[in-house]
Amino acid sequence: MKRGNQPWWKKTVVYQVYPRSFKDSTGNGIGDIPGIISKLDYLADLGIETIWFSPFFDSPQEDFGYDIRNYRAIAPEYGTLQDCEALINEIHARDMRIVFDMVLNHTSDQHPWFLASKSSKNDPKRGWYVWHDGRKPGGKKPPNNWKSMITGSGWHYHEPTDQWYWAQFLPFQPDLNYRNPEVRGEMLDTMKFWLSKGADGFRLDIINAIYEDDEFRDNPRSWRLLPSEESPAMLFTNPKYTLNHPDTLAFMRVLRDAIDTFDDPSRFMVGEVSAPLPILKQYMGESGDGLNLTFQFQSLSLKMRAKAVRGLLEDYEEWFPAPLIPTWVFSNHDRFRRISRIGGGILQAKLNAALQLTARGVPFIYYGEEVGMEQHHLPVKYSKDPVALKFKHIPQFIFNIARKIAKESINRDECRTPMQWNASENGGFCPAGVDPWLPMTPSYRERNVAVQENEPDSLLNCYKRFLHARKIMPPLHAGDMTIDTSDAYPSHVVHFIRECRETGGRVDVFLNFSGNDLDLNFPVPLKEIVVSTRIPAEGAIGNGIKLTPWEGIVVQLQR
């Protein structure tokens, strides 16, 4: 079927693989690239079109790959460069695309560049990182009040050279200095290296942190204690000079130009930026010449209520009208798993999938979401996650309260547990008798691929049906969206229309955000039920239909 003239990345569906947790092929309890290759048929069959991999580059793994030691080599525990090339080829052979995770902001402190940089003030690599004298007199205080994203000063003293280096994230992740043209050149070359190997796109890690103020001015004060999607201010400081710097925004155009001029077909970049929608829009460029996509993390905490969903749909349409396009993301390797956030119910998870796969935007599915993988409650004290470890002295009950009230967890291990392939010991992730790097989430015996593949009405099969419908129907993958704000339907129902001007065709989407049966009476007769969260989709009665509790349905009416 014709798929229209829009670039492929606007119509695609992305699946995030966390390599360490996907499939272990060697029996050491750690996922690897050959393991991933063995599961590509599963992803293709599911209906995934693009796969984004969290970093598998050479790294000391202190932040599990987000601390890179060599951008052009693969971490030995995950495989070799040849394995990576095979992965790229195998993905392309299945008509899918591959997205690499680029950590441009910082390297590992074990990267040879940083080792050279810290060796002497006169080393040619000194200027590759952000070094500064401490505050006078004595210089034994950090240069200014800049805080890292993980609380505390982001400045770290290096005694041998009596200066401080800046790290936006953790101390072992020193920031590169993008005011140095050699750094810009090297990192753009690195991206081109992977493009020439076949990368179809990049996910850009904390891309909002690339530049800082070149006068090193103190950040202003703020009243906010905790950050949110609405403001990055926290701990009573507003990161004016360290996040979303005008030079960072200008750099997005440089990146876009490098990607667009590389060669055909088009590639895309999606930026990790935690910010309100107007700022996210700036990252995409006033004339769409910046990042192709940004994550809108506003959806992470979206309430399963019709009013909230309608509101977010409207906000996205307001801020990202075509040719811009929003993303739909509900979980990732840093955040609470969606199904646990919305109460654990399969019906609600199906409805959530229906929303994600039918609204205008690019869906990002986090591995295991399709079988209802839950957050695994793990104590902070014994975490492997370096962010959680920073807070290990705080009593666990405080985190438990935060989890209950805010549905947030400081311990990122909880959402990174091994993929649940089947009901056997270790869930088919690694052989029985081996300790997986993180413990399996207990519900894996019911919530796994093998069990759900055999249940027609499972969450997994619901994902498959919607992914399939989305793939073959232009209104769903390329259409405009009109949100119904009338009161034609019950208030718990979200209704929108997807219509494709390019290829023609229109569908109506109805999502029931309530636990009740609801009657829909259409102005014209029903032509066809395209797909529903339940099977069989019964109840067609000419001009109306009954929506069961939490049902999501796509229909064609006789227009």
User: Would you say 203 or 495 has its CB closer to ligand GLC?
Assistant: 203
Measured between alpha carbons, how far is 22 from 271 in angstroms, rounded to an integer?
23
In the complex, the smallest distance separating the C-beta of residue 101 from ligand GLC, rounded to whole angstroms, is 8
Annotation marks residue 205 as catalytic:
yes
- Strand 50-53 vs strand 57-58: parallel, antiparallel, or unpaired? unpaired
In the complex, the smallest distance separating the C-beta of residue 103 from ligand GLC, rounded to whole angstroms, is 5
CB-based contacts of 11, cutoff 8 Å, min separation 6:
3, 4, 477, 478
Q: Which of residues 237-296 bind ligand GLC (CB under 6 A)?
A: 272
Q: Give the contact letters, 202-241, x = binds to ligand GLC (CB under 6 A), - = no.
A: ---xx-----------------------------------
Q: Which of residues 500-539 bind ligand GLC (CB under 6 A)?
A: none
SS3 524: coil
In the complex, the smallest distance separating the C-beta of residue 66 from ligand GLC, rounded to whole angstroms, is 3
Whether 283 and 294 have beta carbons less than 8 Å apart is answered as yes
- Among 272, 370, 374, 413, which one carries the catalytic annotation? 272
User: Would you say 125 or 333 has its CB closer to ligand GLC?
Assistant: 333
In the complex, the smallest distance separating the C-beta of residue 20 from ligand GLC, rounded to whole angstroms, is 12
Among 52, 66, 129, 336, binds ligand GLC (CB under 6 A): 66
In the complex, the smallest distance separating the C-beta of residue 441 from ligand GLC, rounded to whole angstroms, is 19
User: Would you say 9 or 66 has its CB closer to ligand GLC?
Assistant: 66
Q: Does 99 bind ligand GLC (CB under 6 A)?
A: no
Q: Please give the structure tokens belonging to residue 243.
A: 């996040």
Of 504, 112, 484, 75, nearest to 310 (Cα)? Answer: 484
Whether 427 and 418 have beta carbons less than 8 Å apart is answered as yes
CB-based contacts of 454, cutoff 8 Å, min separation 6:
none
CB-based contacts of 241, cutoff 8 Å, min separation 6:
146, 212, 213, 216, 217, 218, 219
Among 15, 56, 57, 169, binds ligand GLC (CB under 6 A): 169
Whether 356 and 339 have beta carbons less than 8 Å apart is answered as no
Among 97, 118, 333, 470, binds ligand GLC (CB under 6 A): 333
* Sequence letter at residue 134: G
For residue 531, what are the CA distances in angstroms to 395, 453, 459, 470?
A: 47, 18, 14, 10
In the complex, the smallest distance separating the C-beta of residue 109 from ligand GLC, rounded to whole angstroms, is 13
In the complex, the smallest distance separating the C-beta of residue 367 from ligand GLC, rounded to whole angstroms, is 14
Measured between alpha carbons, how far is 30 from 109 in angstroms, rounded to an integer?
23
Among 103, 104, 313, 325, binds ligand GLC (CB under 6 A): 103
HEC states along 166-227? ECCCCCCCCEECCCCHHHHHHHHHHHHHHHHHCCCEEEECCHHHCCCCCCCCCCCECCCCCC
User: Would you say 174 or 428 has its CB closer to ligand GLC?
Assistant: 174
HEC states along 278-338? HHHHHHCCCCCCCCCEECCHHHHHCCCCHHHHHHHHHHHHHHCCCCCCCEEECCCCCCCCH
- Among 63, 101, 205, 385, which one carries the catalytic annotation? 205
Among 32, 58, 63, 109, binds ligand GLC (CB under 6 A): 63
Beta bridge partners of 57: 74
**Number of C-beta neighbours around residue 365 at 10 A:** 25
Residue 71 burial (C-beta neighbours within 10 Å; 0-12, 13-18, 19+): buried
User: Would you say 334 or 453 has its CB closer to ligand GLC?
Assistant: 334
Residue 18 burial (C-beta neighbours within 10 Å; 0-12, 13-18, 19+): buried
Residue nearest to ligand GLC (CB): 66
Among 334, 446, 499, 502, binds ligand GLC (CB under 6 A): 334
User: Would you say 313 or 373 has its CB closer to ligand GLC?
Assistant: 373
In the complex, the smallest distance separating the C-beta of residue 234 from ligand GLC, rounded to whole angstroms, is 15
SS3 139: coil
Report CA 158 to chain centroid distance, whole Å: 34
In the complex, the smallest distance separating the C-beta of residue 217 from ligand GLC, rounded to whole angstroms, is 24
**Number of C-beta neighbours around residue 314 at 10 A:** 12
Whether 79 and 20 have beta carbons less than 8 Å apart is answered as no
Q: Please give the structure tokens belonging to residue 356.
A: 């994600």
In the complex, the smallest distance separating the C-beta of residue 450 from ligand GLC, rounded to whole angstroms, is 29
For residue 202, what are the CA distances in angstroms to 212, 288, 323?
A: 23, 17, 20
The residues that are catalytic are 205, 272
Can you give the binding site for ligand GLC, defined by CB under 6 A? 63, 66, 103, 169, 205-206, 272, 333-334
